[in-house]
Amino acid sequence: MHAREVFRFCTLTLVAALTAHVETANADSDQMVITGGEGGPNFDNSIAEPAATGAEATLTFGGGPAPVPPPIPPASAITLPGASVVVLTEPAGIPPEPGETPIVIQGPNGPIVVSDVVISTLGIPAAAPPFITLVSDGGPDLGQIAGVLPSLPGVQFLQETGQLQDLTSLLASASNAFGPIIVQVQSDVVPEPGTLRLLGAGLVGLAIRGSRRRHV
């Protein structure tokens, strides 16, 4: 096989591998993992990436392993006294997901792009149903609550990383309703930087090799 054809084949193989990795990483858009002590709750659920005509939904933990519908609509839950609200923000320079309209609100240091919102009622007296809801971008719930977020007292902002992030310390009284728990959220899964670096190095190496062969 000619050197140029070998180079082209190897390059296409690496690109295909990268594409497959990205598609696999984004098969689930968002994830919420809640773990506890012995006999405590164990919740690990994801929001699937929607079809072109679909929309992402909310993901709610109510004390068991399976997701449940939010007992209170997110637009009402965020206004309850004692509710904890964490806004996950998009990293600067990262474009929005295809088909999603960016939601920009006024943050503590200027305009920010909202990715997802986590609402917890675990710090509210027992009269309110205890739950934790992940309101995902791309769904109707986020659009309904975005306008209220800047005016909420005590709302907290955290930039997403694409990896599991521990929100336990940001959710008030997270151990009151279900015992000691750890709350982790993964927003907008991204390929691991190490994998991207490896593929990039492979492409550079092939380019150098192909260039040398052409000059021999």
Question: Do 45 and 109 lie in a common domain?
Answer: yes
Assess contact for 89 and 112: CB atoms under 8 A.
yes
Question: Which residue type occupies 126?
Answer: A
pLDDT at 5: 58
Nearest to 155 by CA among 112, 108, 113, 188: 108
Nearest to 120 by CA among 150, 86, 148: 86
Question: Do 155 and 54 lie in a common domain?
Answer: yes
Q: What is the distance between the alpha carbons of residues 21 and 36, in angstroms, rounded to a whole number?
A: 31
Note down the domain range covering 13.
1-26+190-216
Nearest to 59 by CA among 49, 51, 69, 50: 69
Question: Do 93 and 174 lie in a common domain?
Answer: yes
Instruction: Dump pLDDT digits (tens) for 100-127.
Output: 678 888 888 889 999 999 999 988 877 6
Between 3-25 and 193-214, two packed helices, what is the crossing angle to 10 degrees?
A: 170
Number of domains in the chain: 2
pLDDT at 139: 75
Whether the predicted model's global pTM rises above the 0.95 cut: no
Bridge partner list, 53: none
